[in-house]
Amino acid sequence: MLSPRAVQLGVVAVVAAMLLAGQGGLLQYGFPVAALVAAVLIERLSFTSYLSFIVWLWMLTPFVRRVADLQSGWHEPSLILLAPYAASAWPPARELMAAVVRSIRVRPRFDGLGLFVAAALGAGIAIPFGLLTNPKGAIVETLNWWVPIAFGAYVAVRTADPQAVERALARTLMQCALVVGIYGLYQFQFAPVWDTEWMRNTEVTTFGRTREFEVRVFSTTHAPGVLGFLILPPILIWMTKPRLRDGLAMFCAALALALSQVRAAWIALAVATVLVQLRNNRRERIAFVAFLLVAGVAAAPFVLPIQVSDVTTSRFMTLFDPSSDISALSRFQGHIEMFDVIREHPFGIGMGVEDPTLMQLLGSRDSIVVTAFMQFGIIGATLYLLATIALAARLWIYYRNADTTEGLALAAVGIGLLSVGLLGTQTAGPIGVIVWLTAGLGTVRVRSRRLSRRETAIALPSSRVVALRPAAVE
């Protein structure tokens, strides 16, 4: 009988065989198709296995792309990168369309999806303008903004057992932390050729230099910023339930996070850590502190070498002296220049379109607020940012009412990511998948509490009537 694990192993075996045979060119077309077919099969067999498969796809697809490009030549855009988008979008689209058809019978399950609809509409306003100005960029950015929203709504609709989903995600993310963390350390020390060649082709100077000990670690993802945020969930999951058996994964993940040099991710981690520790019991706090002490001693041989300490220390110290931080000053100036763009383009410049003057100060992935107003316009940005505020409120409710350690960690991660919204677009792309996934789980929790209150409110009057009837007869 076909099982989800067999399907996943089959995809891994085929991809590995093609790369070992030097057939990276075939993967340009074969990998997205294989990922989509596998996602459809796995989703039919097991919802939790499907979610785990999607997480792995987002983590590993950029690595597959780089190795394939090394064999077949540079491809931009790369069709391989469509794999996680297609696998994430098709089952949700099918489920949501079917749910609309039978909406009368399943209306209660749509309770709480308003913020997803508002966010999709806010971003959608910019699509026509983008298609007229920059069709290719508009299509790519539409996927980056809409797929995470649709995926989160799908999780909200499909999840029947949130605890099982939280456990499955926690298990998968811990496994990802081990793989991504170890490869990140390898990348920093050896700078493999498929990574350095890709860095040369992209011509992005913020990724560091293409030699050992000078790469800003991005591991199996496609940017240090993406790695920095995607590595946070497993760290927080471990923090809620510290276990020695997961120590190696956390050690490698923490070092990879440090070597990514993503200060916004460090701030998000600090916010999420405070939230987790406020809810942790005394035993878990002691275990967490004890592990930090042991890990600090164990990490000394890795951190003390000048190649590592210089990278992490100099970057970390800029957090305490923002006035001398050129990047921070540029971001601040970019938020001011944003108002000039709004005055000239009140309806936005379009999805995937960038303002040349503003891009000299900060990129389209450097601030939710700037990107929203620049591309979506005043109306679209207002709608989207109001949905984001509602999202933060829902994640807060999810955090306050979390009854599992996994749920607590995921809610804290979502809040932590949104807390640095002025430093990045955490609701779009791979990071957005994590944020909107937690929103989907939070929606399930909030909806179940609302239904329980309704049932209680309906039950109370009937019980009172039964209690009063004897007195009335007397």
pLDDT tens string 44-90: 899 999 999 999 999 999 999 999 999 888 888 889 999 999 999 98
Give pLDDT tens digits for 257-305.
Answer: 988 888 889 999 999 999 998 888 777 777 677 666 665 555 555 554 5
Do 86 and 151 lie in one domain? The reply is no
Specify the pTM: 0.86
Residues 201 and 154 in one domain: yes
Range of the domain at 372: 111-453
The per-residue pLDDT for range 410-430, each reduced to its tens digit, is 999 999 999 998 888 899 999
How far apart CA 215 and CA 218 sit, in angstroms, is 8
* 48 shares its domain with 136: no
Do 21 and 53 sit in the same domain of this protein? yes
Asked if residue 463 is part of any domain, the answer here is no
My answer on whether 191 and 175 are in the same domain is yes
**CA dist list (Å): 61 to 67, 169, 206, 413, 432:** 10, 18, 21, 23, 16
Q: Are residues 230 and 89 in the same domain?
A: no
End-of-domain residue from the set 109, 140, 162 = 109
Q: What are the φ and ψ backbone dihedral angles of 215, each rounded to 5 degrees?
A: -90, 130
Q: Are 316 and 266 in contact (CB under 8 A)?
A: yes
So what's the pLDDT on residue 150? 93
Distances (CA, A) of 57 to 185, 345, 450: 21, 37, 34
Residues 6+ apart with CB under 8 A from 390: 114, 115, 118
- Could you tell me if residue 473 is inside a domain? no
Within-domain flag for 130:
yes
Same domain, yes or no: 244 and 312: yes
In a domain, 460, yes or no: no
Q: Which residue has the higher pLDDT, 208 or 325?
A: 208
Looking at 109, 125, 142, the residue that finishes a domain is 109
The reply to whether 353 and 386 lie within a common domain is yes
| Sequence letter at residue 148 | P
Residue 133's pLDDT band, with cuts at 50, 70 and 90, is confident
Instruction: Please report the DSSP string for 10-43 in residue order.
Output: HHHHHHHHHHHTT-HHHHHHHHHHHHHHHHHHHH
Residues 100 and 124 both lie in one domain: no
Spatial separation of the C-alpha atoms in residues 175 and 234, rounded to whole Å: 9
The candidate with the shortest Cα–Cα distance to 239, out of 163, 177, 164, 152, is 177
Claim to verify: residue 85 and residue 163 sit in the same structural domain: no
Domain assignment of residue 469, yes or no: no
- Same-domain check for residues 205 and 322: yes
Q: Is pLDDT of 443 > 60?
A: yes
Q: Does 266 share its domain with 415?
A: yes
C-alpha to C-alpha distance for 434 and 427, rounded to whole angstroms: 8
CA dist., res. 272 & res. 214, Å (int): 29
Residue 465 lies in a domain: no
Mean pLDDT of the chain: 83
pLDDT at 102: 59
> Domains in the chain: how many in total?
2
- 461 belongs to a structural domain: no
User: Tokens for 291?
Assistant: 């592990």
Residue 214 lies in a domain: yes
Single residue among 109, 143, 176 that ends a domain in this structure: 109
Report pLDDT digits (tens) over 246-258. 888 888 888 899 8
Q: Return the pLDDT at 465.
A: 39
